[in-house]
C-alpha cells in the first residue's frame, strides 16, 4: 500500500492538443494544450497556453504564458511568468509570480512573491512571508493592482495592493496601497501615499514571546 506511485508516462503537447490527466511524470505544453481531468505530476512546464480542467498536483510547476486551472492547484514550487488563473485554492511552498494571477479561493504558501504586471485577485492570501512589488511601468494605475479580502502572514510587505484586512507580525504597507484594517503584533510601516483606514496593534507577541 505504501511507497511511491510509479510515474512512467509523460504528457507532451507541441502545437495544439489535448490529453487526459492521471498520474504522470512530466507534463510539457509548448503551444496550446488542454488537460482533461485531475492531474498528478512531478513536473509541469507550460510555454504558451495551458488549460487544466481538473485539480493539479505537482512538485514543480513552471509557467511562461498563461495557465488556467479549473480545480485547485497544489505544488512545492510554482513559478509563473505571465498569467495564472485558479478557480479553487492554490497552495505552494514557494509561489512566485511575475505578471498577474486570479485565485478564487485561498492562496496559501510559505513564500509568496508577486511582481505585478496587471490586475491580480485572490480572495484570501495566507503564509509566512508575503511580498507584493510592482514593476515600474508607464501608466500603471491603482485600479490595476492586487485585490484581496484578507492577507495574513508573519512578514508582509505590500505595494499597490487593495485589501480589506491585513494581519501579521511585521507589516509594511508601501506606496499605492489601500487597506481598510491593519492588525499587527510587532512592527508596522506605512508609506506616505498609502491609505490605511484603521490600524491596531494586537497583543500577540507581547506576552507570548
x/- letters, 16..55, toward other proteins (CB under 8 A): ----------------------------------------
CA distance 100 to 28: 21
Q: Which listed residue (168, 176, 188, 194) binds other proteins by CB under 8 A? A: 168
Q: Which residue reads 505530476 in cell numbers?
A: 41
Q: Which of 12, 79, 181, 196 binds other proteins (CB under 8 A)?
A: 181
Residue with cell 496587471: 118
Residue 84 beta carbon to other proteins: minimum distance, rounded to whole angstroms: 17
71 or 126, CB closer to other proteins? 126
Tell me which residue has cell 512592527.
187
The residue within the footprint of other proteins, chosen from 9, 141, 187, 202 (CB under 8 A), is 202
- Near other proteins by CB under 8 A: residue from 61, 99, 127, 174: 127
In angstroms, rounded to a whole number, what is the distance separating the alpha carbons of residues 28 and 109? 24
β-bridge mates for residue 77, sequence order: 60, 94
Tell me how many helices (H) and strands (E) the chain has.
0, 12
Interface pick for other proteins out of 26, 32, 60, 165 (rule CB under 8 A): 165
Among 159, 167, 171, 184, binds other proteins (CB under 8 A): 167
Residue 4 binds other proteins, judged by CB under 8 A: no
Which residues are registered as beta bridge partners of 50?
A: 33, 67
Question: 42, 128, 147, 178: which one contacts other proteins (CB under 8 A)?
Answer: 128
Q: Give CA angle at 137 (171, 73), nearest 5°.
A: 60
Q: Cell numbers 488563473 label which residue? A: 85
Question: Cα separation of 189 and 178, whole Å?
Answer: 14
Q: Does 108 bind other proteins (CB under 8 A)?
A: yes
Out of 138, 139, 192, 203, the residue judged to bind other proteins by CB under 8 A: 203
φ, ψ of residue 143 to 5 degrees: the values are -70, -15
What radius of gyration, in Å, describes the C-alpha atoms of the chain? 19
CA pair distance 79, 119, nearest whole angstrom: 18
Among the residue ranges 27-35, 43-51, 132-140, 197-205, the one whose residues contact other proteins (CB under 8 A): 197-205
Binding stretches for other proteins (CB under 8 A) = 1-2, 74, 91, 93, 108-110, 126-129, 149-150, 152-154, 164-165, 167-169, 180-181, 183, 202-204, 208-209
Amino acid at each position: 500500500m505504501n511507497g511511491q506511485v510509479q510515474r512512467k508516462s509523460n504528457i507532451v503537447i507541441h502545437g495544439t492538443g489535448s490529453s487526459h490527466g492521471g498520474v504522470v511524470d512530466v507534463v510539457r505544453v509548448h503551444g496550446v494544450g488542454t488537460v482533461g481531468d485531475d492531474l498528478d505530476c512531478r513536473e509541469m512546464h507550460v510555454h504558451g497556453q495551458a488549460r487544466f480542467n481538473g485539480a493539479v498536483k505537482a512538485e514543480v510547476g513552471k509557467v511562461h504564458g498563461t495557465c488556467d486551472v479549473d480545480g485547485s492547484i497544489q505544488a512545492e514550487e510554482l513559478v509563473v511568468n505571465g498569467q495564472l488563473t485558479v478557480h479553487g485554492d492554490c497552495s505552494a511552498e514557494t509561489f512566485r509570480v511575475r505578471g498577474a494571477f486570479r485565485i478564487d479561493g485561498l492562496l496559501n504558501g510559505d513564500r509568496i512573491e508577486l511582481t505585478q504586471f496587471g490586475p491580480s485577485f485572490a480572495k484570501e492570501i495566507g503564509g509566512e512571508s508575503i511580498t507584493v512589488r510592482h514593476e515600474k511601468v508607464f501608466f500603471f494605475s491603482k485600479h490595476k493592482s492586487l485585490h484581496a479580502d484578507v492577507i495574513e502572514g508573519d512578514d508582509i510587505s505590500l505595494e499597490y495592493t487593495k485589501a480589506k484586512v491585513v494581519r501579521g507580525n511585521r507589516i509594511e504597507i508601501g506606496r499605492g496601497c489601500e487597506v481598510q484594517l491593519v492588525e499587527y503584533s510587532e512592527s508596522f510601516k506605512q508609506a506616505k501615499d498609502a491609505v490605511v483606514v484603521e490600524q491596531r496593534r494586537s497583543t500577540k507577541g507581547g506576552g507570548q514571546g
